[in-house]
Amino acid sequence: MDARISFADRLKTMQGDQPLDACPVRQVMQGIFGKWSTLLLQALGERPYRFGELRRLVPDISQRMLTQTLRDLERDGYVYRKVLPSKPPRVEYGLTALGASMLGPLTDLVVWASDNFAAVDAARRRFDADEAAGASGSG
């Protein structure tokens, strides 16, 4: 697919029959961009993990959000959930083929963020400093 066709044209096409809110691309993006989705997808990109392993790997996630995020990812088809029939119940989560194919582009973006967060942080500080100066400069 051509990645560089006119975005505005695509936008207009989408508005033709749907309220822009129903834009399928946005629906998909929203599923990927939750607070924890990206993190968990990256983790599962390495190897399958069990529920408790993920908790320990990402210590500041609440068990509520871990459950919910994994469910959402499973619902969207990125993640499978396999219940191992052992005495203490074990549940393994891993990427599906769909999830693996999405992880490529997602990781590229994560890598960009990793490479450029210093520039972003600098921009933020500049912006905040300018704002503060403008707000109190004449006081």
Residues that bind DNA (CB under 7 A): 34-36, 50-53, 60-65, 67, 70-71, 81, 88-91, 93
Q: Return the sign of the alpha-carbon dihedral for residues 33, 37, 42, 47.
A: negative
Residue among 68, 86, 76, 96 at smallest CA distance from 29: 76
Q: Of 71 and 101, which CB lies nearer to DNA in the complex structure?
A: 71
Residue 128 binding a copy of itself, by CB under 8 A: yes
93 and 51 Cβ atoms separated by less than 8 Å: yes
Which positions from 35 to 74 touch a copy of itself by CB under 8 A, shown as an x/- string?
x--xx--xx-xx----------xxxx-------------x
CA distances from 65 to 18, 20, 28, 32, 93 (A): 31, 29, 19, 14, 15
* Range 13-32, binding a copy of itself (CB under 8 A): 15, 19-21, 24-32
- What is residue 21's DSSP assignment? G
**Cα-flanking dihedrals φ and ψ of residue 76, to 5°?**
-80, -5
Q: Of 21 and 87, which CB lies nearer to a copy of itself in the complex structure?
A: 21
Give the interface with a copy of itself as residue ranges (CB under 8 A): 1, 3-4, 6-8, 11, 15, 19-21, 24-33, 35, 38-39, 42-43, 45-46, 57-60, 74-77, 98, 101-102, 104-117, 119-124, 126-128
